[in-house]
């Protein structure tokens, strides 16, 4: 879980188009969410440990690389979103890329990000998700 603010606004659109596309998410002062993150990994069960990977390793990676980067930040000010609107679609893909690049102990399957209790997003590196 992490909390961050954002404003949905595209420099490529007129003020009217930004307003009609993003509605109240276009408020220039921004607004925030509590994002709930799920990272799904897969792999063979290690015969010595009985685990796919050590959860401590996964927790530490997510704490260090995701939560420390995004928690209590304004997403619009981060380098990932200097040329991209910080929608939860794009945030989900950014988090996937970070885990995919850096976490070596198991295979990343997908990232699921809840923006609110009613809206959630999933990304599997562009692959189809069946479940």
Which residues are at the interface with other proteins (CB under 8 A)? 8, 10, 12-13, 21-23, 84-87, 89-90, 92-93, 117-124, 126-129
Residue 41's H or E segment, with its range, is strand 31-42
Least Å from the CB of residue 92 to other proteins: 7
122 in active site: no
C-alpha–C-alpha distance, residues 120 and 112, integer Å: 7
Least Å from the CB of residue 45 to other proteins: 26
Least Å from the CB of residue 60 to other proteins: 27
Residue number with CB closer to other proteins (21 or 73)? 21
Closest CA to 90 of 121, 56, 55, 48: 121
Count of CB atoms within 10 A of residue 119's CB?
10
């Amino acid at each position: 879980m992490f909390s961050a603010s954002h404003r949905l606004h595209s420099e490529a659109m007129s003020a009217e188009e930004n307003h009609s596309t993003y509605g109240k998410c276009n408020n220039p002062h921004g607004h925030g969410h509590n994002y709930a993150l799920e990272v799904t990994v897969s792999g063979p069960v290690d015969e010595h440990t009985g685990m796919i990977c050590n959860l401590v390793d996964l927790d530490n990676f997510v704490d260090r690389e995701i939560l420390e980067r995004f928690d209590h930040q304004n997403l619009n000010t981060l380098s990932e979103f200097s040329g991209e609107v910080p929608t939860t679609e794009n945030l989900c893909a950014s988090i996937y890329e970070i885990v995919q690049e850096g976490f070596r102990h198991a295979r990343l399957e997908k990232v699921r990000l809840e923006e609110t209790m009613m809206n959630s997003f999933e990304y599997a590196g562009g692959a189809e998700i069946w479940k």
